[in-house]
Structures are given as C-alpha cells and as structure tokens.
Chains A and B, each alone.
Chain A
Amino acid sequence: MSVVALADFGSTYTKVRLVDADEGRLLARAEAPTSIGTDLMDGYAAALAAAGADIGGSVAIDEELAVSSAGGGLRVAAIGLVADLTAAAARQAALNAGARVETVLAGNLGEEQLDELQEARPEIILFAGGTDGGQADLVVENARRLAARRLGGYAVVACNADVAGEVARLLSEAGTEVEVAGNVMPSLGRLEIESAREAILRAFLEHVIGGKGLSAGSAFAEMVRMPTPEAVLEATRLLARGTEAEPGVGDLMVVDIGGATTDVHSDHAHQAAAPGIEDPLLPPPPTLRTVEGDLGLRAGAAGVLAADGGWIESEMEIGEAAIGQSVSTRSGNPEWIPEDPFEARLDALLAIGCATHAVTRHSGTMLLTRGEKGPPTLVRDGPDLREVTQVLGTGGVFAHREDGESILREALRRRAPRSLAPQEPAVGIDGSYILAAAGLLATEDPDAALRLMRRELDLSENETG
C-alpha cells in the first residue's frame, strides 16, 4: 500500500486526506484550523495527526502533496487589447490556472488603469495583446507604460509573438521577472491558453508560494503543487475524460459555493459550429473555470441578495429588512454558522441563489439578435452545456448540509429559458472535498485519482462510463 497525504491549505481550515494511491481509496480525513498567524505547517501537523489517529496512528506516509489557497490564493492581473478578445483570453488563462483575477485591463493603458493595477497588487501579471504578426505598436506601448511603473514582481508575456521579446526586455529592465509564453490568441478567435496557464503555475510554484511568508521552513513550498481551484479544475477534466485505462463520466460541471465566491468548473467535448448559429468571437475552451466574486454565502451574501433578493424573500415569506439583517451578520463574519431553522433555511436559499446565477453566467445563452436591417440571427454567447450529464456540488455548504442535492436540483430547475446550462443532468455531492484531493493526486497518478473520485462520489463505471 502506498499512502499519500493530500493537504488543502485553505484560508480557514487545513484539510488532510490520507489516500491509498494503489487502490484509489480514501483512508482517513481530518482538518485543523489553518495556522496563518504562526507557521502553516503547524496546522498541517495537527490535521495530519488527527487523520493518522483515525487509522491507528501507525501508517507510514510515502508522499505529501498539497494545494493552497492560504494567504489570499494566487492573485493575477490580466492585460490585453480588446476586452472580449485578448483581454478575455488572458483572463481565462489566469482563471484556468486557478488564480484569483484581481483586475482585467484592456485597450491603451492609461494612468487610471495603471493605478488600478497597482492597487490590486497582483502577484503575477499576465500580459497579452495582438495576434501573432498582428498589432505590435499598441502592445509595445502598453509594455512601455507598464514598465514605467516599475512594479517588480512576476509577469508572463503571452502577446503577439513578434514583439514578445521586446515586451519581455522592457519589463525585465524595469525589475520584473519575466517568462515568455505562447500567445493566448495567436490568430483571430483562436484561444490557446495552455502555455500561459502553465507559465502562471510555474511562477506560482517557483516564486509566489514560497514568497508569501506563510511558513519558515521549505517543506510547505515543496509540498504545494498548485493553487486549490486549479486542482478542482484538473479533477473536473480528469473525471470527465478519464484516462487511457479508464473512461470518464463524460461532460461534467462542478459547482463550488464558498463564503466569498462561487466557482463553476466544466469540461465539455469540443463542439463544432452549429449551422445557422453564430458563435462568440472567442469561443470558450472545452475546460472552463469561472469565478463569481459577488456570489457567496458569507462575504458574498449581499451580492446574492442583490441578484436574487425577490425570490429569496418570497421563498422565506418574510420582509426585506429581516433578511437584510441576517445577510449583514453573514457578510461581517466568514465563520458564522446558522443555529436556528430560519437561518439554516436562508443559507439553503442563498446557496440556491449562488448556484443558479453562477451556473447561468458560466453557461452560454442563445440570443436572438436583429441588426439594423439584416435578418434576425441566433447567437450563442458562451458554451453550450445543455448535454452535460453530471453536475457535482463541492464546498462547505455541500459538506455540512444534508440537502445538497436538492439545492443543486433547485438551482438547475431555475435555469433561464434560453440558457445553455445543463438540462437534465444527474446530480451528485462531493461531501468530503475529494475533488481537490483527486486533482492533486492526479499530478502523480491519474488512474488512482480517477478511481478515488469514482469510489468516493459513488460514480461507478457501469452507471456512467
């Protein structure tokens, strides 16, 4: 038996899963408060000891791996030229690397935008703009203006390949450490974010995670393989597609409702253009992560009320003021836990609101547009996920409540009429944060990671393969 300790350093809790990697079996799980004030490894040691005690305390651990979102996660700023072309491509590359995208800048960078960038204090800047052989002058000018701020830090340059070297030189001379990656949009409408995504992850591991001052020794930085959301995205892709040895479950969506944000991850087989339907200028990638910064159960609760207040009030059969008071309590206290049925019910409705809006924004919508004189046209503004067969819920609300499945079902039932969100998926719950652990394990052994997910999420191959 080969035992791997999989740790997830969260902002509040450090979760440890002990896994038999040969069998793809969960042996034990435990968590301890994240020791952000002292050394992050203290909390890990506590959680590891608790997990070890669970199985007799004498198991030898062969390997220790970790994901981390402690210390604010990975903060990235994306820069491009046109908002829904290279800037959107850069943003997606950062999101798919598991980053928190602090700001997205497009166009000719002005002083105000650069102030905004400086205030956002990103750990990595992803610099894009222009197709290969395309726009050069505006891209170089943007680099010059950015360099003038002498922000230091790290940058990934993923712009027009003709000027990427010059951009890298300008930024590097201004004290920024630079890696040049492939262009995120080498030609019009062609999204190629893998190279930039990998460069961001390299920068995260080599520079960012060790530089946060979260742990005195080197063990922490050596354990960490990726930011937590990236592990969930890896798990989503692996579970959907499978490995050479084992098939996946097919098109898949994962909804992760947190206190401050709601993340949605999906993997869908590549779709050819549908005749008669226009695609967006920049087609979405087959593996997609979106983050809704205004939808969450604690810090993000006010955003849910803004998006879905009417429905929540009618469901609670109670006035705006009472709900507002309850939401304020949540906003100011990330660790607050409901203690009566009223608050528990409100939490469930807030979770439904988070999932409803996050899934709608993640999925495309079929729009009927009419030009000034031309005929009406059907336009698809995002991915068509109607045939996604499986939706999974992950995150605290699903781990701690019994009604996770009905929360997800209700959110999916509330889909908007022209939404391209999943239509009739099976619904499942990741009650033990197994997705992040499996995404992490997949870096070492994808087959074991897939087996672990199928077993723990109750997705047997016969039912779904």
Chain B
Amino acid sequence: MRCRCTPRSAPRTTAWSRSNAAYSPSWGGLTQNPVIKSAVTLALEAVNFNRVPFLYTQGDTIGNTPDFDANMAVLNTDLLFTKMVDMRYRLGSASIAVPVTETERIPTWQEVATVQTISRRLEDYVPIVEPVVDWARIEAMRDQLVRGGKAFFEAAIGGLAGAGIDTRDPAQLLLVLKRLGSNRCEELFGAGEAHPEFPRGRRPVLETDLVRKTMEERERLLVELRGRREEEAIRGMKVLVASTDVHEFSEFLLASTLTAVGTEVIDFGVNRDPEDIVKAVIETDADAVVITTHNGVARAFGQRLMKELDAAGAGGVAVFMGGVLNEDVAGSDVPIDVSADLNANGIATPGTIDRLVDALVERRAGGVAA
C-alpha cells in the first residue's frame, strides 16, 4: 500500500551521460513478470558505463492480491530471479523483499522479518536454477530496451537542442528534463509509437505489467460495457474522477473507461484532498464523484469529504470510493476494511468498475439531475 513507484530512468540517464560522474541505478516496483524485470535490470546495467554497483532492486509491489498465501508465490519468484540476475551478472545490489500483506495494510514487524528469512533461504536455490535459465532470451529483451533508451536519448537531445538548450551542459540538461517531468518527457521523446489510447499517448517499447494490466482491464471493461444497453442511460452524466494519492493508473483506468461509456468525465487528477474536490464539485456541478484511494486514508478522507460537501450545500452529489478501502483504527494491530463505515456515511463502494457503472445507471434512473 505504500507506493514505491520507480522514477523513470531514461531522462536521468540522458543527463548523466553528459557528465563524467558515475551513476548508480536502483529500481523496481512496476513490473511483476520476473523475466521482463530481469531484462530491465540488465538494460540499466548495460548503460551503467562506470560499473557502479546497483544500490538495490525493489521487490514486486503490484503482483500481490488480498490473498496473503498466494502472495508467497509472488515473493519467492520475484526474489529468486532478482538474486539470479544479481549473482550471474555480478551487480552487487541488495534485493528488497516486500511483505505479502503490503497491498492491504502497513505490514507488522513480524511480517517484515518473515520475508527476510525467506529471502535469505532462497539464495541456496540460485546455483541450482540459474544455469538452466534461457538467458539469451532475456538478453534479447535487454537489447530491445537499450535500443528504446537510445531512441529516447537521441529524440531528447535533438528536441532540446532544437529548443535552444545547450545539450553539452549536463546541469542544464538535468534541470530541463526535471522541469519537463517524466510524463512530459515520455510524451515528447518516448521511444514507443504514438497511440492515443495508452497513458501519455505512447505504446511502451516493452510494457511493464502495470501498463499491460491497466490496458487489458480497460479493454475487458470496454468490451463488456459496449454490449450493454445501460450505456445510453448515463450518457452526458458529469462524473468527477480523482485519486487521494499518487496512483495514476487506477485513476487513468476509471477516467478512460467512464469516458468510453459516454459519461462526461471531469478528470481531477491525483493527490487531491476533500476540500479541493468540494470546490471542483461546486464549479462543475458534477452529478457524481468517484474517488480512488490506495494510501490507507479511506475512512478519514470519506468522512471529511461528506462533511465538506454537506457544508457547501452539495450533499446531493453521489459519491463512490474504490481501491484499497482500509485504514488503521484504534484497537487493531492491522488496518481494517472500512467499507461499512463509508457506506454508513453515504458513500457507495461498488468494488469494481462494472458495478460502478451499474450504480451510476441506477443513480440516474433514481432521478438525479444530470
């Protein structure tokens, strides 16, 4: 549940390549597939010209589900591959093991200790498995990524030089790329082909699992929703979509799906607080508010939002929340599900986007102005 989103390294590497300073990559988080993840690590190593040891490789934070036992498989596979890559290619990095409860709550210290024990024991299996893995295939993926990185590098250097930036000056380059931000850099100079349906307008060279899963889920939802007649019922309904935290993919999924089914989406972006959402509702006269949350604040956020909406005379707007609906509460060692609290406060928690669409249809049929 705590986000360890990885900084995109292409802009940073682009700037570093212009200085003679050594550069140490550390990464992880957005890729579940251990084969792709190995290729990404090797691609970073391929441009690690000074051979500075990797600081760490972050464990998988997106493969986990609410089923903690099943998450043991995610943990073991991820760590085994990370360690194999590290030992075979002599990277010298630490592998960070992610507790199996992390998607659902802040892990206890015992849960942190457990994954360390597992991590240590897995090292015994590396010499057995590593020699039989098809590393040539992984290296081919690495080369594909490095080509993409070079394409980004050339597009960025060419584009920025054209804009009057002194691309021989590493400080200037770093400053400009940082100011542009990773999203804008990808939009402008990304190596993937332009494609309007992907986040930031490009199909990735090699999809991380987060992008792949988001796009697959989007497609599945669109196919299913297109076949339904209710779509007409919510056409033009004004739906404000926002996230309480930095998780942009769930917000993207909601906004793009709800747009595709004909609602008029007011995309309010990520990191929004209740007060901002109320202000947005007043100015836009939204019919519904859909909040996605993954940072363990669902109950406090929901309560404050409803209170502020009421105080502003906008209590009639339909409010939906989804994501990870839990929070630390007094008397419990672990965060607990707060859906019932939210429901009692008048916030619907449909659980899935399909059911959210059903709920929006119902809401409109119930005479809500739209």
Using CB atoms and an 8 Å cutoff, list the residues of chain A in contact with chain B. Answer: 81-82, 84-86, 108, 129-131, 133-138, 185, 187-188, 271-275, 278, 281, 371-375, 377
Contacts and interface: CB of A to CB of B under 8 A. Distances in A.
Given A85-B279, A85-B283, A188-B283, A374 B244 contact: yes
Interface in B11-34: none
A278 B279 CA distance: 17
Contact of A82 (B182, B238, B279, B286): B279
B349 interface: no
B245 interface: yes
Contact of A273 (B181, B264, B279, B282): B181
Contacts of B271: 278, 377
Interface stretch (B52-60, B166-174, B292-300): B292-300
9 contacts: A81-B282, A82-B279, A130-B285, A133-B284, A135-B284, A274-B181, A372-B297, A374-B297, A377-B271
Contacts of A377: 271
Given A273-B181, A372-B304, 13 more contacts: A82-B282, A84-B279, A86-B283, A108-B313, A137-B285, A272-B184, A274-B178, A275-B178, A371-B273, A372-B297, A372-B300, A373-B296, A374-B244
Contacts of B341: none
B126 interface: no
Interface residues of B, number: 31
Given A188-B268, A373-B300, A374-B297, A82 B283 contact: yes
Of A85, A108, A136, A137, chain B has the most CB atoms within 10 Å of the CB of A85
A371 B327 CA distance: 14
B266 A188 contact: yes
Interface string B30-73: 00000000000000000000000000000000000000000000
B229 interface: no
A463 to B, nearest CB: 19
Contacts of A185: 283
A377 B246 CA distance: 11
Interface in B50-98: none
A190 to B, nearest CB: 11
B324 to A, nearest CB: 13
A273 B238 CA distance: 26
A374 B245 contact: yes
Contacts of B279: 82, 84-85, 281
A82 to B, nearest CB: 5
A53 B70 CA distance: 94
Contact of A188 (B183, B284, B296, B313): B284
Top 7 A-B pairs, shortest CB-CB distance: A134-B284, A135-B285, A275-B181, A82-B279, A373-B297, A372-B300, A134-B285
B209 interface: no
Contacts of A137: 285
Interface in B210-240: 238
A136 B285 contact: yes
B294 to A, nearest CB: 11
Interface string B255-269: 000000000101010
Contact of B295 (A82, A131, A281, A374): A374
A129 B282 CA distance: 9
Nearest to A373: B297
Contacts of B268: 188
B185 to A, nearest CB: 10
B284 A274 contact: no
B179 interface: yes
A121 to B, nearest CB: 28
Contacts of B328: 373
B118 interface: no
B187 to A, nearest CB: 11
Given A188-B266, A274-B178, A374-B245, A131 B283 contact: yes
Given A275-B181, A373-B295, A135 B282 contact: yes
A268 to B, nearest CB: 13
B276 interface: yes
Of B184, B244, B268, B273, chain A has the most CB atoms within 10 Å of the CB of B273
A272 B285 contact: no
B264 A133 contact: yes
Contacts of A374: 244-245, 295, 297
A133 B295 CA distance: 32
Of B178, B283, B284, B285, chain A has the most CB atoms within 10 Å of the CB of B283
B180 interface: yes
A355 B300 CA distance: 42
Given A188-B268, A373-B295, A374-B297, A81 B178 contact: no
B179 A271 contact: yes
A374 B327 CA distance: 11
A89 B341 CA distance: 38
B151 interface: no
Contacts of A188: 266, 268, 280, 283-284
A275 B182 contact: yes
Interface in B290-313: 295-297, 300, 304, 313
Of B180, B184, B279, B328, chain A has the most CB atoms within 10 Å of the CB of B279
Contact of B297 (A82, A272, A273, A371): A371
Contacts of B284: 130-131, 133-135, 188
B183 to A, nearest CB: 8
A271 B184 CA distance: 12
Contacts of A187: 266
B313 to A, nearest CB: 8
B334 to A, nearest CB: 15
Nearest to A128: B283
B281 to A, nearest CB: 9
Nearest to B298: A373
Contacts of B282: 81-82, 135, 138
Interface string B325-349: 0011000000000000000000000
Of B178, B182, B282, B297, chain A has the most CB atoms within 10 Å of the CB of B282
Contacts of B184: 272
A89 B207 CA distance: 41
A274 B183 CA distance: 10
A108 B271 CA distance: 28
A160 B205 CA distance: 42
A23 B328 CA distance: 72
B182 A81 contact: no
A275 B248 CA distance: 13
B275 to A, nearest CB: 10
Nearest to B245: A374
